[in-house]
Structure 1
């Protein structure tokens, strides 16, 4: 899939797009090359990447132009070293190369959440928890997570919530950091499901409607969701300093689902604020209408 003429963005993650973006971000001096003199590109030249990776310039040009679809794992590792990629970005490079050499698998099956996992969510009355699908769709949430997201109008997808709902900038006290993390997660998903029409449609919509998303998507940062701090603000209970952990759902029928759990430090004001929010839980639906049915909530 090529660049969208309306947005200037490339909705589908491709090997050639990733190589171009990451080449632009490596300064010559970062890899021991002289950085002085007039340069027409912000980062490395194609021939410089080729030399660093030990391949011919013509071969590297074919990779960036999408004319070479089957680079060996050894070549990909050499390119990763030349472009100073970390482990996660290197894995992403390999996935993109694999995706470029296979045929489209068509539309994915609707996502469903295991009933046992839904019951587990229901029992966590003092902990916000939700299940994300492979393209960051919120496919299930417990009552406290629904209460936590009550300020949002858009609630069906984490990326759409972050970039298309005005409430996001007030909810995330570190919105820039959260937005960058969401896009990096989408890029990682794109490496594993580059032919997923749902992902292409999502990236296309966000690219069309959000300048911030387009800018971040063009960076081709790659990072999965694991764990870390969340600095939030809820209109009903004020600031919340939480920690989240993400767990892979192994019985998700190939959808790449994640269980995300938020926690507050014991005895902290944030724990008290969560308890106050939990006291309002009857105002919010348990798991939402999407739980277990594979449907998504309404679009903005």
Structure 2
């Protein structure tokens, strides 16, 4: 999707999702024909002309100033992730888009192999698993070959697994929330790398094969990867509530170290230990 079209669709999605009363708009009776704010209402709140804001939603706004974007962000009450996404998709990309599979330095693979007490993995910008340790494999993808991340053309993709892999889908007790997180993450990445062909193919595949993803994608959720609490229903270990910690790797933009930890002494910690490889 071109940036102007992406901006237009994002603005419409957020305007439709904004309840009038939260924006300070007083209803005057009669049935509203839009679920959220009208264009003229948002334009007035943001201090813009209706004609100019309409052009933005029609994809004809041209270069939008930071002041205008800030006014729209305030009017829509965007959170930090949404605001950053708004600014990102409103300006031309100034760096070459990434192509081809991501590379993982041997030192990072050795780091993951050295972590034994908790599940750990390195995930790329498109949600490909670049490396995982034995415990992460046992937690998330025991039904797949452990060596797959080493092969660039066979790497597991977490977003694809969440929406299309029935074994992995059944793993999450809060799978709808996990699904929304993945759709929101892919939307952020698409804004950063709008010309990435591999990412476009992944999004196209998920849209065609998963009605759930297609519905979430149309809502334009936006959320960067952050530390969350994940609840699992694991067929071998049972129920677990784990802290999913995400650490950005600044030397390789887009790559993240992901680790799962349990509260010491908890039932979840005991369940996680059941996934540890047996020692002779």
TM-score normalised per structure 1:
0.83
Q: Would you say 1:14 and 2:12 are equivalent positions? A: no
Q: Would you say 1:131 and 2:122 are equivalent positions? A: yes
Structure 1, residues 89-112: CA drift from partner, whole Å, max 9, x if none? 1111001112xx348945524311
* Contact map agreement 1:76 1:94 (CA 8 A) in 2: yes
- Which has the bigger relative contact order, CA under 8 A and spacing at least 6? 1
Structure 1, residues 138-164: CA drift from partner, whole Å, max 9, x if none? 111111111112355597111111100
Structure 1, residues 231-257: CA drift from partner, whole Å, max 9, x if none? 1122122112211110011221x4x11
Provide the secondary structure at the position in 1 that maps to 2:274: helix
Corresponding residue of 1:222: 222
CA distance in 1, matches of 2:158, 2:279: 21
Structure 1, residues 163-206: CA drift from partner, whole Å, max 9, x if none? 00112332001111111111111122122112222222111111
CA distance in 2, matches of 1:271, 1:170: 21
CA distance in 2, matches of 1:281, 1:174: 32
* Contact map agreement 2:128 2:157 (CA 8 A) in 1: yes
| Structure 2 unpaired stretches of 5+ | 145-153
Corresponding residue of 1:75: 68
Change (3 A) 1:109 1:146: same
Change (3 A) 1:250 1:13: farther
Q: Would you say 1:147 and 2:138 are equivalent positions? A: yes
1:240-255 to 2 correspondences below 5 Å: 240-252=240-252, 254=253
CA distance in 2, matches of 1:47, 1:170: 45
* Contact map agreement 2:98 2:193 (CA 8 A) in 1: no
* Contact map agreement 1:13 1:194 (CA 8 A) in 2: no
In the comparison of the two structures, how many residue pairs are matched?
A: 270
1:21-100 to 2 correspondences below 5 Å: 21-35=13-27, 36-98=29-91
Provide the secondary structure at the position in 1 that maps to 2:117: coil
Q: Would you say 1:121 and 2:119 are equivalent positions? A: no
Change (3 A) 1:150 1:28: closer
2:269 pairs with 259, 266, 271, which one?
Answer: 271
Corresponding residue of 2:158: 158
* Contact map agreement 1:124 1:142 (CA 8 A) in 2: yes
Corresponding residue of 2:150: none
Change (3 A) 1:268 1:209: same
Change (3 A) 1:240 1:109: same
TM-score normalised per structure 2:
0.89
Change (3 A) 1:87 1:184: same
Provide the secondary structure at the position in 2 that maps to 1:130: strand
* Contact map agreement 2:141 2:168 (CA 8 A) in 1: no
* Contact map agreement 2:5 2:59 (CA 8 A) in 1: no
CA distance in 1, matches of 2:159, 2:127: 7
Shift of 1:270: 2.0
Change (3 A) 1:197 1:155: closer
